[in-house]
Amino acid sequence: MPDTGLSLLGIETSCDETAAAVVTGGKRILSNIIRTQIDIHAEYGGVVPEIASREHIRSLLPVIEAALEEAGIEAGNLAAVAVTQTPGLIGSLLVGLAAAKGAALALGIPLVAVDHLEAHIYAARLARPELDYPYLCLLASGGHTSLVWTESPLRYRTIGETVDDAAGEAFDKVASLLELGLPGGPAVERRARQGDPKRSPFPRPKVKAGDHRFSFSGLKTAVLYRVRGQDGRGEITLTEDEISDVCAGFQAAVVDSLVDHTTRAATELGARRVAIGGGVAANGPLREALSAAGSRNGFDLFAPPLSLCTDNAAMIAALGYHKLQAGEIAPLDVDAIP
Ligand code: KG4
Ligand code: ZN
């Protein structure tokens, strides 16, 4: 028996990744299986909720079996099953939740309902257990962008969030506008590498002291006008090089905004440790810029590996362990919250 703590099965189906993982003691990842549906949704230019639920139904049991097999653990030796309860696409969440309830009932083990965003915040600590509390976390995903003061695995305070689009949503919209395909963030990052942000600069929103709210919709509209003219409806007449420059300029503006706000909040709160989480935390220039800002401003950056930034079930199983330890067990009639 390699494991010394309690092993949890984690299940994540909130959007378009079907994922299952086994994590021991909230720390040791025994397996972390992710099956993405992105190629199926790419044909439609975005995630289609009905198709996502159907694909989760098709993939989830094989993904769970793969997670158990890779972990080398019998289902009967699991201590609990943790599942994403919120937020996400309702149909997708329900598939994961129904499977988790079934497993908990059949195995006679507790069900733990996990908040996907709290799990993203915990991912940095799962990757680097030496990350001590408290820490400031920049959470930047497809649906959320916020700064969260984190005091323990289960205690958080939101310091500021976006007033309009999430950072990931802006990446996705710009990718769609430039017809770069899905997923948008990595596509824009790749094109930005071939471009020069100085050839296509975008304005930065003004930031006031004490104001930690993000805003990305103005930037998104500025990209739209540059690409499709002042009515936002023209044909794209940019050359391939100019498209790369727009990607570079847009990405630089998003990174500056995220880094400025995070650095300001870290300084005001006296944070010595800053973590990042969520899909946008996989962005290379953001990771580099925040790490450099940390060196200049006296905080250490804890950036999880890319596989723990984007959606995964290891973070669900890991946070689930702490909820289980705290006695936060969900009833079998618990509902998904979209
Ligand atoms: O956390 P996540 O996988 O799913 C949600 O909970 O939303 O985040 C997905 C978001 C998408 O908007 C995606 O375009 C963005 O994260 N993303 C990135 C990168 N990888 C994923 N954005 C910028 N650069 C990346 N490398
Ligand atoms: Zn996510």
What is the token pair recorded at 116? 């996907």
* 236 within some domain: yes
> Rounded CA gap, 255 and 52, in Å?
30
* 263 within some domain: yes
Are 152 and 178 in a shared domain? Answer: yes
Is omega for the bond preceding 153 within 30 degrees of 0, making it cis? no
Are 36 and 134 in a shared domain? Answer: no
* 155 within some domain: yes
Listed in sequence order, the residues at least 6 apart from 101 whose beta carbon sits closer than 8 Å to its beta carbon are 111, 332, 334
* 335 within some domain: no
* 200 within some domain: yes
Task: Round to the nearest angstrom and report the end-to-end CA distance of the chain.
Answer: 38
CATH number at residue 27: 3.30.420.40
Are 148 and 272 in a shared domain? Answer: yes
Q: Measuring from atom 2 of ligand 1, which residue has the nearest CA?
A: 279
- Number of folded domains that form the chain: 2
> Rounded CA gap, 250 and 287, in Å?
16
- What angle separates helix 90-107 from helix 49-71, to the nearest 10 degrees? 30
Q: Give me the tens of pLDDT residue by residue for the chain, a chain 338 residues long.
A: 444 589 999 999 999 999 999 999 999 999 999 999 999 998 898 899 999 999 999 999 999 999 999 999 999 999 999 999 999 999 999 999 999 999 999 999 999 999 999 999 999 999 999 999 999 999 999 999 999 999 999 999 999 999 999 999 999 999 999 999 988 999 999 999 999 999 999 998 777 778 999 999 999 999 999 999 988 889 998 999 999 999 999 999 999 999 999 999 999 999 999 999 999 999 999 999 999 999 999 999 999 999 999 999 999 999 999 999 999 999 999 999 99
pTM over 0.85: yes
Ligand 1 in reach of 311 Cβ (< 6 A): yes
Are 157 and 113 in a shared domain? Answer: no
> Rounded CA gap, 291 and 301, in Å?
6
Listed in sequence order, the residues at least 6 apart from 75 whose beta carbon sits closer than 8 Å to its beta carbon are 9, 68, 103, 107
CA of 92 to the centre of ligand 2 (A): 13
Q: Which of 13, 84, 254, 280 to mutate to test the pocket of ligand 1 (most atoms within 8 A of CB)?
A: 280
Instruction: Determine the 3-state secondary structure of 199 from DSSP.
Output: helix
* 235 within some domain: yes
Ligand 1 in reach of 310 Cβ (< 6 A): yes
Are 197 and 87 in a shared domain? Answer: no
Q: Which of ligand 1's atoms lies nearest the C-alpha of 183?
A: 14
Q: Are 145 and 161 in contact (CB under 8 A)?
A: yes
Query: Relative to the alpha carbon of 168, which ligand is closest?
Result: 1
Are 154 and 238 in a shared domain? Answer: yes
> Rounded CA gap, 174 and 177, in Å?
5
Ligand 1 in reach of 88 Cβ (< 6 A): no
Give the residue carrying structure tokens 């079907």: 18
Q: Which of ligand 1's atoms lies nearest the C-alpha of 311?
A: 3
Instruction: Determine the 3-state secondary structure of 66 from DSSP.
Output: helix
Are 88 and 215 in a shared domain? Answer: no
Are 18 and 164 in a shared domain? Answer: no
Are 142 and 287 in a shared domain? Answer: yes
Instruction: Determine the 3-state secondary structure of 330 from DSSP.
Output: strand
Domain that holds residue 68: 7-121+310-325
* 215 within some domain: yes
